[in-house]
Amino acid sequence: MSRGWEMECVRRIEADVQRSADTHLVPMPWPGFPGITLYLKDESSHPSGSLKHRLARSLFLYALCNGWLREGRPVVEASSGSTAVSEAYFARLLGLPFIAVMPATVSVQKQRAIEFQGGRCHLVADPTQVYAEATRLAREGGGHYMDQFTYAERATDWRGNNNIAESIFSQMAREPHPVPAWLVCSAGTGGTLATLGRFVRYGRHATRVCGGDAEHSVFFDHYLTRDPALTLERGSRIEGIGRPRVEASFLPDVIDAMVKPVDAASFAAMRWLSSRLGRAVGPSTGTNLLAALACAREMRERGVQGAIVTLLCDSGERYRDTCHDLAWCQAQGMHDAALERAVHASLNGGAESPPWRLAGVLSAARSSS
Ligand SMILES: Cc1ncc(COP(=O)(O)O)c(C=O)c1O
């Protein structure tokens, strides 16, 4: 184990931080909700294109400082999406081979995005075997399995170090409502929600945290029941969020409310926001927007003004051939014109609720299942 090599790796990562600017916070007036301003934390502007740039950086520093990485040895991850793209970016920065283990059904576009960052894609026929295969490849290659689902909440410094929550609060400092009423994000590993929930408690802020969940995922029901054994036969249809099993980095005790819209509603919200911003956002940002909508409706009902901050997790450019292609959505049975109109009406301030489930402080009488 060469300490000199480890030190050089840490220097390179810190230099990468120094070269990079923080991601923007974009205010978006919400005409249907007077006195409530929505802010989008635009994580698509990171060098590797998504919120996972922060997590990948933290995971590499955590593994390095635990002495888990070896010069020239592979880093392996079980991921087909944003995390693999961002981890490939940092592996290349450190001169390490990177292998992303994923189901064989993953789109060529996503494989290209990982290969563009210098990574290699290892396909498996049975999606449930990705974790075991990643462990095997790391062991046989004398490398390290990064395991985002286990280490996301441990590797991230939730007290500061420019984590996403600290960045949001410092960028809100000169806004009319510097302390947001709500911070809103959906869960993939659960690491981002864990950081938001811990930071607001550590900072003694009155801000509440709301989590979004995908239709085919266990997080919402785990939040309701705390049953750790919940599983589902199938995976989520929203890239990056929703899980068929309860993940170690999902911490329900730091979440004040959850919102679970149907996937077609998340796609409708993704299109509503893309047209307002004049650029395409990813589907998990659509789920975030609907969770933020539930928070705005709760504030409007109580006659409260203030700020809601949610994440623009990644760009819609990655989904040109999938959820930003209406024919593809129709073919997947995930487009319904009437539902699309209803979701847009509610985002424009209308009284109708989108098809969603609510939990925590948002639930009470407002749940419309
Ligand atoms: C596009 C996208 N959105 C949201 C998330 C959720 O982030 P987290 O893993 O911190 O829960 C992910 C996670 O992979 C993602 O890729």
Instruction: Dump pLDDT digits (tens) for 294-306.
Output: 999 999 999 999 9
369 assigned to some structural domain: no
Q: Report whether residue 286 contacts ligand 1, using a CB cutoff of 6 Å.
A: no
Higher pLDDT, 209 or 333: 209
> Cβ(74) to ligand 1 under 6 A?
no
Q: Is the CB of 117 under 6 A from ligand 1?
A: no
Cβ pair 289, 260 in contact under 8 A: no
- Asked whether the beta carbons of 267 and 326 are under 8 A apart, the reply is no
pLDDT in tens, 94-151: 999 999 999 887 878 889 999 999 999 999 988 888 899 999 999 999 999 999 999 9
For residue 297, is it within any domain? yes
> Hey, whose CA ends up nearest to atom 12 of ligand 1?
240
User: Which residues, including other chains, have CB under 8 Å from residue 282's CB and lie 6 or more apart?
Assistant: 44, 50, 239, 240, 270, 312, 313, 314, 315, 316, 318, 319
User: So what's the pLDDT on residue 204?
Assistant: 98
Ligand 1, atom 14: nearest CA belongs to which residue?
240
Q: How many distinct structural domains can be found in the chain? A: 2
The verdict on the CB of residue 360 being under 6 Å from ligand 1 is: no
Q: Is the CB of 81 under 6 A from ligand 1?
A: yes
Tokens of 269: 């919200």
Could you report the per-residue pLDDT of 240-268, keeping only the tens digit for each? Answer: 999 999 999 999 999 999 999 999 999 99
How much is the CA Rg of the chain, to the nearest whole Å? 20
Question: Distance (Å, rounded) from C-alpha 307 to C-alpha 37?
Answer: 5
For residues 39 and 183, membership in a common domain is answered with yes
For residue 260, the cross-strand partners are 357
The residue from 153, 183, 206 where one domain ends is 153
Mean pLDDT of 2-28: 96
Tokens of 39: 């802010």
130 and 260 housed in the same domain: no
State which residues form the domain around 320: 3-47+159-364
Mean pLDDT for all residues in the chain: 94
Cβ pair 213, 190 in contact under 8 A: no
Helices (H), 254-348: 263-277, 283-302, 326-331, 337-347
* Confidence tier at 349 by pLDDT (50, 70, 90): very high
pTM of the model as a whole:
0.94
The verdict on the CB of residue 50 being under 6 Å from ligand 1 is yes
Q: Would you report the helix, strand and coil content of the chain in percent, each value rounded to 5?
A: 45, 15, 40
Among 23, 42, 43, 50, residue to substitute to test ligand 1 (most atoms within 8 Å of Cβ):
50
- Residue 1: the pLDDT is 61
Structure tokens that stand for 133 in this block: 């295969």
Question: Which of 121-130, 152-161, 359-368 has the lowest average pLDDT?
Answer: 359-368
Residues 15 and 62 placed together within one structural domain of the fold: no
Where among 112, 138, 153 does a domain terminate? Answer: 153
Could you tell me the CATH number of the domain that includes residue 329? 3.40.50.1100
